[in-house]
Amino acid sequence: MSPRDVCLAYLAAFGSGSPDAVTSLVTDDFVNEHTAALGGGCVGKAEYVRRVPGFLASMPGLRYEVEEVIAEGDRVAAAYTLHARVNDRDIAVRGVMRFRVADELIAHRTDYWDSLVFKQQAGLE
């Protein structure tokens, strides 16, 4: 699978609601980095495996609508709109993820999204 295809499969896995589908696509030393104030990163697949079920449960119907993908070698960037239901409200938050892929798995992900937009749409602001 190409790095582009790996990243698209990863983003699609969130829509399955299966933590195993999401976490099966990352390396053991996976780095999950968030730039948004509300985001919480982690290092290592074991910690990611621990966190993903709660994340999916907190955002029913989560899916990433991919807007554009740019790929060069082992680097991929994907612009997206995240759709989910939070606090009985439908949310749609745009963002971009940058990926580094190694051996057909995601080794590093950096996610850029707007915490304020999320808070406003989810009724937290």
pLDDT of 6 higher than 80 = yes
Residue 73 CA from chain centroid, whole number: 20
Question: Cα 9 to the chain's mean position, in Å?
Answer: 11
**DSSP category for residue 73:** T
- Cβ distance 33 to 106 under 8 Å? no
Q: What is the per-residue pLDDT for 40?
A: 84
- The rounded distance, in Å, linking the Cα atoms of 54 and 56 is 5
**Confidence (pTM):** 0.94
Architecture of 3-121 per CATH? Roll (3.10)
- Per residue in 52-103, pLDDT tens? 999 999 999 999 999 999 999 999 999 999 999 999 999 999 999 999 999 9
Sign of CA dihedral 76, 18, 23, 52: positive
Residues 21-60: tens digit of each pLDDT: 999 999 999 999 998 878 888 999 999 999 999 999 999 9
